[in-house]
Structure 1
Amino acid sequence: MPVITCIEDLKRLHKKRTPRMFYDYAESGSWTGQTFRENTEDFQQIRLRQRVAVDMSDRTLASEMIGQPVTMPVALAPVGLTGMQCADGEIKAARAAERFGVPFTLSTMSICSIEDVAEHTTKPFWFQLYTMRDEDYVRRLIQRAKDAKCSALVITLDLQILGQRHKDLKNGLSAPPKLTPSTIANLATKWAWGIEMLGTKRRQFGNIVGHVTNVSDTAELGAWTAEQFDPRLDWKKVEQIKELWGGPVILKGILDVEDAKMAAKVGADAIVVSNHGGRQLDGALSSIRMLDPILQAVGDQVEVHLDSGIRSGQDVLKAVAMGAKGTFIGRAFVYGLGAMGEEGVMKALEVIQKEMDTSMALCGKRDIKDVDRDILLIPEGFSGSWQA
């Protein structure tokens, strides 16, 4: 067993073990990939202030996200097709999150269904909703999340239409994978992944197949999803969904001050500053660059979280120090899942926790709740001076 000391170690194992189409699905952005790259590069521009001769004992990363206690201010982000990175992937990731004490968010486009995850966990998880044209399906989906005792609804706002991801088109991404000559050749090198997949019944989108009229196989599912993302989603619909849900709501995909103000106005419990991991509008600013302007505008009105670009505990620490009340990790936990299953997700969380704890201490802080901008060195003009 290799020694795992950083998220990059898990990423290498993930690439080695997982079929190319699913690794590429996780490790790519839209169009040129500029925003995908800058999400991580921009974190590296922010530096930390080392402090010495301070008491570093009795440290804690314990915090809260939307009033729920967390071991550290990190949640597992909703990631589609997680059950294709590893057999029963959503169940394994949810169990790891529960063991560790952080929230897990199940994607609408998951392989394991809401009911699957609820059956294999003991604590409430969060459910992420993509709004669809089929309003009856959306109502039933929300009810299923309620029945499963999900403790928050995460509404994704930045996927009304799908950004083009070149690798997914070239690889013929599908669940389960279509058996073309190139796919078969690649799968033949991923035998451990294949053996695990043969041992599970969960190989299609579990929240859709069997829950939508006339969708019973992969071909029908592809046609349905291609036309179902709702381009008509607006703030009025967001309010309607919030009322239908009746519980805590997190709005994900906020990357503009005006949108942040609208999210606060409709009464969101939290917003997630996010560009969908660079998978939607290529050329958009990184999430960490947009965090400060959004905090300045609405930080006193709504809880602000950050998603996109986090690959380390230092990234989490920097986001929290700037003012985020929580963060979401997607690729970082997917690398662990693809590399080592449930234990790989645990390892990813442990790596982030250890790096955040050590870095916080070396910045002279003992409690994550006391961390603020005082520990940061931020380049002048980091958020930019842009003309609209």
Structure 2
Amino acid sequence: MKRQIPNAREILELVSFKKPELDGTKRRLDAALTIEDLRRIAKKRTPRAAFDYTDGSAEGEISLARARQAFADVEFHPSILHDVSKVDTSTTIFGGPSALPFGIAPTGFTRLMQTEGEEAGAGAAGAAGIPFTLSTLGTTTIEHVKAANPTGRNWFQLYVMRKREISYGLVERAAAAGYDTLMFTVDTPVAGARLRDKRNGFSIPPQLTARTVADTATHPAWWFDFLTTRKLEFASLTQTGGTVGELLDYAMDPTIDYADLAEIRAMWPGKLVVKGVQNVPDSRKLADLGVDGIVLSNHGGRQLDRAPIPFHLLPEVVKEVGADTEIALDTGIMNGADIVAALALGARFTLIGRAYLYGLMAGGRQGVDRAIQILTDQVVRTMKLLEVANVEELEPRHVTQLERLAPRARD
């Protein structure tokens, strides 16, 4: 082979120098290509107790691990020779539109993760054209979330508390603020055993210990934001002292029943959705009662460990009640391909919790925007590779749930 002296001009035609990004937050977020990348950034930038509250689940954290594994154990079956130069990710859910087949799930204590909190989530959701759900245990009021997302869809997640008048007042405020969907949550009669939180002494307000003080030195930006921004305010609770478990037990009521569901239904003018459904018979009963939708969820693995995996339960519930009510799903979603798989098996919609919070902790509002963009790109790419042009074309034939945890036969 004949050799030659490298020609600088030819080399420059083959390569180009990347313009340096001076904005540290943008540079950090642009480098994140997956939700797991955002998680790693969040872990570096957030004190341990706050990060573990988000990242952790109940007891041995088996439910969460199984939920994520269930999505990993998916085999896709693409079609061929379909025009997918353009794909439509829009859908309708609970009486209104969404530009994407996912929305932001309710999360508690969100401003402890990063001080922009729910307002960053609501603003990002509004910009993306997707719904935002405020938790009863959110750290931003109903009215402030509405101000952050004035023209978008806002939903409210309701715990029926021991003091019923508090819950009733929240329902009235959400209706007055124009929220269009109420998520009546039924999987939290008491707080789950969040062992990471107990070991970290995580509380509201944060308790300073020797380890907390040491952690401060490695996360000065987080503490500066926390100490120089407005005081935490909750959507509902007037009692704000104590561990997370104590606060949850103060708010939750193990006596709630179908009469409470009927009472809230009578009060609420919008769509009523029941969140935390975990079996087929309950799905059937709720559909017969005429609820507007159900959310298959085990609370992100944060309540009953070893609870049913929503993604595994999905096909059975769709077969039983899919013609009668809309079905949404959460727990374990870390990739847009997870969302596509859920839609193919009959879910009308999905909700993301931790995925959005990792973005929030990684970069505030910009981080939430980045999380939504990552999932959007993954949804679009997966649809194109499956060769479906819109979400309505997704069908069970596109997905096989590979079995890892098959029930043992009984005698």
- Shared topology, TM-score over 0.5? yes
- Provide closer, same or farther for how the CA distance between residues 221 and 80 of structure 1 changes in structure 2, counting only shifts above 3 A: closer
State, as a whole percentage, how many aligned pairs show the same letter.
Answer: 33
Distance 1:178 1:382 in 2: 41
Is 1:240 matched up with 2:229? no
CA contact (8 A) 2:182 2:270 kept: yes
Is 1:366 matched up with 2:360? no
Is 1:15 matched up with 2:43? yes
Find the partner of 1:120 among 145, 148, 156. 148
- Alignment match, 2:174: 145
- Give the letter for the 2:338 counterpart: D
- Provide closer, same or farther for how the CA distance between residues 63 and 385 of structure 1 changes in structure 2, counting only shifts above 3 A: farther
- Alignment match, 2:20: none
Instruction: Tell me whether 332-341 or 182-191 shows the greater mean CA deviation.
Output: 182-191
- Provide closer, same or farther for how the CA distance between residues 103 and 179 of structure 1 changes in structure 2, counting only shifts above 3 A: same
- Alignment match, 1:326: 349
Shift of 1:28: 1.3
Is 1:131 matched up with 2:160? yes
Is 1:91 matched up with 2:119? yes
- Provide closer, same or farther for how the CA distance between residues 90 and 367 of structure 1 changes in structure 2, counting only shifts above 3 A: same
- Alignment match, 2:6: none
- Provide closer, same or farther for how the CA distance between residues 220 and 351 of structure 1 changes in structure 2, counting only shifts above 3 A: closer
How large is the RMSD of aligned CA atoms in angstroms?
2.0
Distance 2:329 2:253 in 1: 24
- Provide closer, same or farther for how the CA distance between residues 382 and 179 of structure 1 changes in structure 2, counting only shifts above 3 A: closer
- Provide closer, same or farther for how the CA distance between residues 383 and 54 of structure 1 changes in structure 2, counting only shifts above 3 A: farther
Is 1:272 matched up with 2:267? no
Instruction: Tell me whether 141-150 or 267-276 shows the greater mean CA deviation.
Output: 141-150
CA contact (8 A) 2:203 2:244 kept: no
- Alignment match, 1:160: 189
- Alignment match, 1:307: 330
Shift of 1:181: 1.6
- Give the letter for the 1:173 counterpart: F
Distance 1:43 1:12 in 2: 20
Shift of 1:332: 0.5
Find the partner of 1:5 among 33, 46, 51. 33
- Give the letter for the 2:142 counterpart: I
Instruction: Tell me whether 299-308 or 119-128 shows the greater mean CA deviation.
Output: 119-128
Cα offsets for 1:217-263 (capped at 9, x unmatched): 53599866533311011112111111111320111000101111122
CA contact (8 A) 1:289 1:383 kept: no
Instruction: Tell me whether 165-174 or 115-124 shows the greater mean CA deviation.
Output: 115-124
Cα offsets for 1:278-327 (capped at 9, x unmatched): 11111122111111111111111110011101101000000000000000
- Alignment match, 1:212: none
Instruction: Tell me whether 63-72 or 373-382 shows the greater mean CA deviation.
Output: 373-382
- Alignment match, 1:39: 67
Distance 1:159 1:13 in 2: 30
CA contact (8 A) 2:201 2:243 kept: no
Aligned residues: 382
- Alignment match, 1:62: 90
Distance 2:243 2:365 in 1: 31
Cα offsets for 1:48-71 (capped at 9, x unmatched): 113333211221101111121111
- Provide closer, same or farther for how the CA distance between residues 374 and 221 of structure 1 changes in structure 2, counting only shifts above 3 A: closer
- Alignment match, 2:379: 356
- Provide closer, same or farther for how the CA distance between residues 48 and 222 of structure 1 changes in structure 2, counting only shifts above 3 A: closer
Find the partner of 1:258 among 274, 281, 290. 281
- Provide closer, same or farther for how the CA distance between residues 189 and 226 of structure 1 changes in structure 2, counting only shifts above 3 A: same
CA contact (8 A) 1:11 1:336 kept: yes
CA contact (8 A) 1:75 1:102 kept: yes
- Give the letter for the 2:222 counterpart: W
CA contact (8 A) 1:14 1:336 kept: yes
Bigger radius of gyration among the two: 2
Instruction: Tell me whether 69-78 or 365-374 shows the greater mean CA deviation.
Output: 365-374
The alignment partner of 2:218 has SS state of coil
Unaligned runs of 5+ in 2: 1-26
Distance 2:243 2:44 in 1: 32
Cα offsets for 1:6-61 (capped at 9, x unmatched): 10110001111111111111111111111110010011111111333321122110
- Give the letter for the 2:129 counterpart: G
What is the TM-score when the length of structure 1 is the normalising length? Answer: 0.93
- Give the letter for the 1:78 counterpart: P
- Provide closer, same or farther for how the CA distance between residues 100 and 202 of structure 1 changes in structure 2, counting only shifts above 3 A: farther
Matches within 5 A, 1:167-186: 167-186=196-215
Shift of 1:379: 3.0
The alignment partner of 1:288 has SS state of helix
Distance 1:327 1:261 in 2: 20
Distance 1:164 1:202 in 2: 27
Shift of 1:121: 2.3
- Provide closer, same or farther for how the CA distance between residues 253 and 223 of structure 1 changes in structure 2, counting only shifts above 3 A: closer
CA contact (8 A) 1:80 1:107 kept: yes
Instruction: Tell me whether 121-130 or 374-383 shows the greater mean CA deviation.
Output: 374-383
What is the TM-score when the length of structure 2 is the normalising length? Answer: 0.88
- Provide closer, same or farther for how the CA distance between residues 223 and 381 of structure 1 changes in structure 2, counting only shifts above 3 A: closer
Find the partner of 1:105 among 103, 125, 133. 133
Instruction: Tell me whether 76-85 or 225-234 shows the greater mean CA deviation.
Output: 225-234
Shift of 1:355: 0.7
- Provide closer, same or farther for how the CA distance between residues 295 and 85 of structure 1 changes in structure 2, counting only shifts above 3 A: same
Find the partner of 2:317 among 294, 300, 323. 294
Distance 2:71 2:132 in 1: 24
